[in-house]
Structure 1
Amino acid sequence: MNIGDKIRRLRIKNSLTQEELADRCELTKGFISQVERDLTSPSIATLVDILEGLGTNLKDFFNETTEEKIVFTKEDAFETDNEELKYILKWIIPNAQKNQMEPILIELESGGNTKEDFPHEGEEFGYVINGSIYLHLGKEKHKVKKDECFYFKANSNHYISNAGKTKARVIWVSTPPSF
């Protein structure tokens, strides 16, 4: 790990000059400059002071996190096929259950429907890409056509069905994850 570079990036992220950081830590601007260029190594006590001045601590500073994946391809998706209910469900973001929301892509054949989901904390959003569907919320039934969307609090039983003659494709996002 390049400690000096990481300190410099944290300082810039916090919108501090070398002099401002030095003042917070009761050090000199020259010393901060030397640390950032890896020309000198601070003692543990001094490093703790610098990190406190940057709003962090030793544990968080040295905790190496992996880069968060931002873009996903079709190869990243996981798919399950329910022939009985006539749908294909694709988890388009792998391991989304660990996130606050879980987007999926559902392809419903004519006459197909998803499994009924029970009330839970959170909200649901869907966008119909192709075809049309019925959104079933408790005893209510709402038709949602291509290029339309739905949004609701998940406080009643809910599922979608395809009463049309063509395949329906829907992006469905649940928070918290429930698929």
Structure 2
Amino acid sequence: MKQPRGAKRAERRISHHGRRIRHARLMKGYTLRQLAEIVDCSESMVSKLENSRLSPSLAMLHRLAEALDTTVPDLLIVGPQDDGADPVTVFPAERFVERPAQDGEENRLVWFDRVLPFDKQGLLQVNLLHLAPGAEQPRFLQHEGEEFIFVLDGTLDVIVKDHSYPVAAGGGIFFSSMLDHRYANTGTEVVRALWVNTPPTM
């Protein structure tokens, strides 16, 4: 049976909302039951909302937004990819091979090459960090989310709270962004690292 005009688009939007609700819940650290109690509904209803089996009412969206410290518009954001095919981006190997410094980068100690730039509609951000010998992030950072760093070249010192973790090329580190963190290059070669944040932060 042929779907009515707009039905497929509506399905995509519901799916998009479910993904955002689930992500916001996980960011708050709530279980399905805890969120259900806060918004005064059943655990199964929250599960159906997150798995795109139920479309939230406007009243429910307001309760969810308040409980998850977000806004209704943020839960309703629909990117261009949600009206068409699933977005797929393939990066060639050359994208992550060391390249010569670009204009304005030669004398910089730290720079980020935006692989997946900040996008309020997205849930993920990926940067390629370049850190010169002796360079560091001097102050601690703290924000909501999670981070994963994979070191491509050199050794990156990642300081989380009061402990320093040296991560050599080929290694990685994962931590909650809610923990005080900063980074430094105490070695003699440039550090390159793939830095993944969720949600996007900068």
**SS of the counterpart of 1:60?**
helix
1:71 aligns with 90
Instruction: Say which of 142, 148, 152 aligns to 2:165.
Output: 142
What 5-or-longer segments of structure 1 have no aligned partner? 1-20, 22-31, 33-49
Detail structure 1 runs of 4+ shifted over 6 Å in the superposition: none
Query: In the aligned structure 1, how far is the partner of 2:116 from the partner of 2:198?
Result: 14
TM-score for the superposition, normalised by structure 1: 0.56
Kindly tell me: are residues 156 and 58 of structure 1, through their superposed partners in 2, closer, same or farther at Cα, counting changes over 3 Å?
closer
Kindly tell me: are residues 72 and 114 of structure 1, through their superposed partners in 2, closer, same or farther at Cα, counting changes over 3 Å?
farther
What 5-or-longer segments of structure 2 have no aligned partner? 14-79, 96-101
Report how many aligned residue pairs link the two structures: 123
**Is the CA contact 1:126–1:171 (under 8 Å) kept in the aligned structure 2?**
yes
Matched, 1:91 2:114: yes
1:177 aligns with 200
1:167 aligns with 190
Larger radius of gyration: 1
Kindly tell me: are residues 139 and 150 of structure 1, through their superposed partners in 2, closer, same or farther at Cα, counting changes over 3 Å?
same
Kindly tell me: are residues 146 and 69 of structure 1, through their superposed partners in 2, closer, same or farther at Cα, counting changes over 3 Å?
same
Identity among equivalent positions (%) equals 20
2:147 aligns with 124
TM-score for the superposition, normalised by structure 2: 0.51
Query: In the aligned structure 2, how far is the partner of 1:125 from the partner of 1:58?
Result: 35
